[in-house]
Structure 1
Amino acid sequence: VPKVFAQQTAFEKTSRDGDILFSYQWNLPNGKLTQLSFSVNQREFLKPFATFRSYDRKRALRELNYQVNQYIQRQRWYGVEATLSPRQEKLTLSIRKARTEPLQQRYQQQLTKTQQFFNQQWRDYLSANYYRKLSLPLGETGIVPDAVTIAEKTQSLLRTLVVAIGNELKDNSRRSYTNYVGHFVQSIPYDSLSSKLSSRGDGFTPPNYLLLNNRGDCDSKVSLTLALLKEIIPEARMIIVYLPKHAIFGIQMAKQANDITLMHNGTEFVLMDVAGPAVLPAGQLSSDVQFLVNTGQYTVIKGN
């Protein structure tokens, strides 16, 4: 475990004339104190994802149960019904017993069409609420916030921050920008992630609200990193690497001798853990995270 920890030495947030001014101070790995300030229009900045909620299976099934039953009523079908379990943890589609074989076949067709309708509604529900299905190699599956789409939707809100970073680094290498953004995100106070994949999104904070609250878990921090670096280096390919209880960032750039990398679809990505508080430059991971990568316990999601 590295001995250097990223820590903000100062953070200020002030509202003035409809704007929010953010000011940061933190120590770079070389011990040098760095400062960064930017301002945003408060209304524009806080509008996206103001009502973002963590995934709740019971709430989702209640909504879907209502939609499916409305669908069955509109079709005037009597051969199929949708029922929600008493604890609202399962939605079951069932078929009635018919008196004749032709009628039974018709009921079966109704069931098939209702199942198709449910599947489409389920996909639409996930998409509309910025969730996605995630499966990890050891068979664990769950619903998590769609960190890539959320990063895309908040990218334009971060332009004044990107300009401030550009003023600091000017004409610099891909690695310098990646490290600077990574260390900035590492220095933001950390919120721990739920250990269960089923409740993994509980603490997720979209990039604009992560900056506003000045704290976030690893999934949220990866989404912020992705939003910033896609705005700064749009031509670089990027990935999110989901691990058990953790997530890290990957970017396509010139490899250095000791970099830890991951090959995905023919592209080599240099990995970076932006969770903090450990200060880790691009290409370096803690031994436990490196073990998960080396043993293939990850799922890669394309960042762009």
Structure 2
Amino acid sequence: MRTAASTLCILFTACLLPLAAHAAQTFNTGTRGGGQDFAYTYNTADGQARALQFRLNLDDIRRGSEEFRRISTGDSQAYRLAAMQKVAQGMQNPNLDIRLTPIPNGIDIAMRGRGIPRNVLEQNYKVLEEAGRNADSTFLANHMYAVARSAGNVDFIRPDHAAIAKRYTGAMQPVAQAILQQVPGASQNPRAFINAALNWLQTIPYDTLDNRTTSNGAGFQTPYGLILGNMGDCDSKATALAALIRAAYPSLPLTIIYVPDHAFLGVGLPQTDADYALSTQHGIFVLADATGPRLSPLGQIDTETRDKLKRQSSKTELVPIR
């Protein structure tokens, strides 16, 4: 008997390129002792000067900027094969021969048994296939990826934005505290805090993060990778914004919103007459797009994104509350 266990198909999506150059910003960073200092100056939408400064642990910022990497089908196949081989070793029997062979898009399972009932062989196949599927899930989780389904019902692999936002909630506390200090009364006014966080993130230069010479080449960066490199794309900025908001307001509902070629955040705050919002099965979420360079406050998104929300189906993923 033989069958093939399919291997993960690794596909990536890219954010829509913004139409303008990045907003004016000055950025300085330097290390001293065991920390790294970050300092920014930029303007608000009405032209007021803003300054933001914070300090992060040096080892944490470097580790955080390096932990997310592009993965390949070959990587996932090797991990799956090793897991299946370990299970096959537990089935060792003088009368049972199991051979696992990597093939394009899968692992070929060849099994031959002498005097072993067919139903036992079939059960062994199922156990090996399940081991392969579990290995895929573990591999993705270890590398901070998740399986998603497009509007056209096609499965693909993308960064696990919600899990990464949760992972970085504590790490973004120093940044959140700096923003809270920057805006009087922000600790009691989530909208003011979010607008200040959006303003800062939107002035960080946009980059697709596909070039391995200037970035990690993975098309995404963690919040610490975004800060250290001072560049990011739409889903990297949405993830950083989610971690920032969660650090300041632990119980505020948040969801990552996906439309074709774009990702942004939904915030569970009361909707005003001026806000654009998305109604979901989990409630109404006011829209927040950190991409830039346009300085858009909470509740305001560009015309193209609004059109996509109207004309095409969107996907959402709640950010876990820790």
Q: TM-score, normalised by structure 1?
A: 0.88
- Output the CA distance in 1 between the equivalents of 2:148 and 2:173: 30
CA distance, structure 2, for counterparts of residue 109 and residue 90 of structure 1: 23
Alignment partner for residue 292 of structure 1, among 283, 308, 311? 308
Matched letter for residue 84 of structure 1: P
SS at match of 1:157: coil
- Per-residue deviation, 1:255: 1.0
Preserved contact between residue 166 and residue 319 of structure 2 (Cα < 8 Å)? no
- Call closer, same or farther: CA 1:239–1:193 in 2, change over 3 Å: farther
Which amino acid in the other structure matches residue 92 of structure 1? I
2:150 pairs with 133, 136, 153, which one?
136
Output the CA distance in 2 between the equivalents of 1:132 and 1:181. 26
CA displacement, residues 2-38 of structure 1 (integer Å, 9 cap, x when unaligned): 9997624310011112221100011111111111111
| Partners of 2:313 and 2:83 in 1: CA distance | 37
The answer on whether the counterparts of 1:190 and 1:277 sit within 8 Å (CA) in structure 2 is yes
Is the 1:79–1:107 contact (alpha carbons within 8 Å) kept by the matching residues of 2?
no
Instruction: Give the C-alpha shift of residue 205 in structure 1.
Output: 0.7
Aligned counterpart, 2:106: 91
* Residue matched to 1:198: none
In structure 2, the CA distance between the partners of 1:79 and 1:241, relative to structure 1 (3 Å rule), is: farther
State the match for 1:242 in structure 2: 258
Q: Bigger relative contact order, structure 1 or 2, given CA contacts below 8 A and separation 6+?
A: 2
Alignment partner of 1:270 is 2:286: yes
User: Do the aligned partners of 2:81 and 2:107 also contact (CA within 8 Å) in 1?
Assistant: no
Residue 151 of structure 1 is aligned with which of 165, 177, 191?
165
- Conserved 8 A contact 1:95-1:107: no
Cα contact 1:136–1:243 (8 A) shared by 2: no
What secondary structure is seen at the aligned counterpart in 1 of 2:147? strand
Asked if the contact 1:7–1:277 (Cα under 8 Å) also holds between the matched residues in 2, the reply is yes
Give 1:104's aligned amino acid: R
Match of 1:171 among 178, 182, 185: 185
How much is the aligned-residue C-alpha RMSD, in angstroms? 2.3
- Paired residues in the alignment total 293
| 1:128, distance to aligned residue in structure 2 (A) | 1.8
Say which structure is richer in helix: 1
Is the CA contact 1:186–1:279 (under 8 Å) kept in the aligned structure 2? yes
TM-score, length basis structure 2:
0.84
Indicate how the Cα distance of structure 1 residues 258 and 140 shifts in structure 2: closer, same or farther if over 3 A, else same: farther
1:129 is matched by which residue type in structure 2?
H
